[in-house]
Amino acid sequence: MTGNRKPLLASDGLSKLFGGVVALDQLDLEVFPNQILGLIGPNGSGKTTFFNVVTGIYPASGGQVKFDGADITNLSTQAVYRAGISRTFQRSRLSLSLSIFDNIMIGNHKRLNQGLWFNLVRRDAFRREFEQNFEEARELVQVFDPPLAERMFEAVSGFPMIDRRRIEICRALISRPKLLLLDEPSAGMTHEETTELMDDIFKVKERVEDLTIVIIEHEMGVIERITDACVVLNFGQKICEGTYQEVAQDSQVQEAYLGVE
């Protein structure tokens, strides 16, 4: 199905060493446009490290990452974001003492006018930009949860985990990235909350054109429901790929998860 299309994100022999520990081992991985790709594997198999290397938080030890045709290996986190990759974090990294709106605007950095003169002196222009961005942020939050959109100027610390995840995803989406990296969005939530959040992600995916998602997840139910394809990692290597059904049947995958008898 995706064989003759060009991948949006491709890693080629990507490696990451932490001292003697091999976190990513010659990883080749391709993500195609408009796909939802599940990245699965046991704890410590290198899933989050893959995100961190792609987004420039860690430098790669070897290999290459290409995004949208351009080489983005070892670009700064800032440059990766500007190129159109946004992410969420495993341990939700929102600024809890700031409002929902503030947090979402942090994700909108590249689309806001950051000039000193504009911000401090041209307050009328600033006001217009502020109002326009407020409307945009509110519409986005409304897709997730309409009541939440009425509370844009309340501190995030007052909201439960599911709302915080929603806010975090909004923060990643507001700048209209081409690729969204979701790092275990179900962490810390109940089963029902997870289902709800996945519905939200579907809704957003429908609304936003040209959005490709890579999702790291431990809840296999989630993976089964939302992904078009899966890649299974173990010890930093790709051990299997295909649809969820194919992957779940694979003996190597079962071994990685359940161990060898």
CB of 95 to another protein, least distance (A): 4
Distance CA 95, CA 116 (A): 23
Q: Considering the complex, what minimum distance in angstroms separates the CB of residue 179 from another protein?
A: 13
Q: Binders of another protein among 76-115, rule CB under 8 A? A: 76-78, 81-82, 86-87, 89, 93-99, 102, 105-110, 112-114
* Only segment of 14-22, 73-81, 196-204, 238-246 that touches another protein (CB under 8 A): 73-81
Q: CB 231 → another protein: shortest distance, Å? A: 22
Based on the shown chain and the rule CB under 8 A, indicate whether residue 143 belongs to the binding site for another protein: no
Q: Count interface residues toward another protein (CB under 8 A).
A: 42
Residues 30-49 that bind another protein (CB under 8 A): none
Q: Does 57 bind another protein (CB under 8 A)?
A: yes
Minimum distance between the CB of residue 103 and another protein, rounded to whole angstroms?
A: 9
Please report, as ranges, the residues that interact with another protein according to CB under 8 A.
55, 57, 76-78, 81-82, 86-87, 89, 93-99, 102, 105-110, 112-114, 116, 119-120, 123, 126-127, 130, 134, 138, 152-155, 171, 175
